[in-house]
Structure formats: C-alpha cells, structure tokens
C-alpha cells in the first residue's frame, strides 16, 4: 500500500479524500439521527402557519363585512 501511496503521490490528495468521505458520512449520520425531529418541527410550523392564515382571513372577512354594512347603512340613511 505504501508503494502505491508514494508512487502516485497520494500524500497530497489522500487527506482531502479522507476528509470528504468523513464529512459525507458525518452529514449522513446527522440527517439520519435528526430526521424525525426535523419532520416534527415542520409539522408544528405548518399548523402554526395554517392557524395564522385562517386568523388573517377571518379578520379580513370581518373588515370587508363591516365596510360593506357601513356603506349600505349610509345609503339607506341618505334616502
């Protein structure tokens, strides 16, 4: 093994290859361990965003209803 290591001058390339492999294995392990927790966070965030959208929609609906009723009331009172 040392013969090929010296012959092909792997002395400069080998550390980078090993570092890359080590990093990819670490990233894979991290993703595998954290996957369930990440999915739970995404699920909770989706629920919060859905509630926020619904609340905003209801508020807009109330604003437009009140605006329209005020306009109708003004029209009736002006006759």
C-beta neighbour count of 10 within 10 angstroms: 13
Residue range 13-64, pLDDT digits in tens: 888 999 999 999 999 999 999 999 999 999 999 999 999 999 999 888 887 7
Interval 2-24: pLDDT, tens: 777 777 777 778 889 999 999 99
Question: In the structure encoding, which two tokens stand for residue 68, read together?
Answer: 């329209």
Report field, pTM of the whole predicted structure over 0.85: no
Asked if 15 and 21 count as a contact pair (C-beta separation under 8 A), the reply is: no
What is the domain partition of the chain in residue ranges? 2-78
């Amino acid at each position: 093994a040392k013969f090929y290591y010296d012959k092909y001058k792997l002395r400069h390339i080998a550390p980078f290859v090993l570092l890359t492999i080590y990093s990819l294995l670490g990233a894979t392990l991290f993703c595998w361990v954290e996957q369930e927790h990440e999915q739970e966070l995404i699920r909770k965030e989706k629920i919060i965003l859905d509630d926020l959208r619904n609340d905003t929609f209801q508020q807009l609906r109330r604003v437009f209803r009140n605006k329209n009723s005020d306009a109708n009331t003004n029209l009736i009172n002006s006759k």
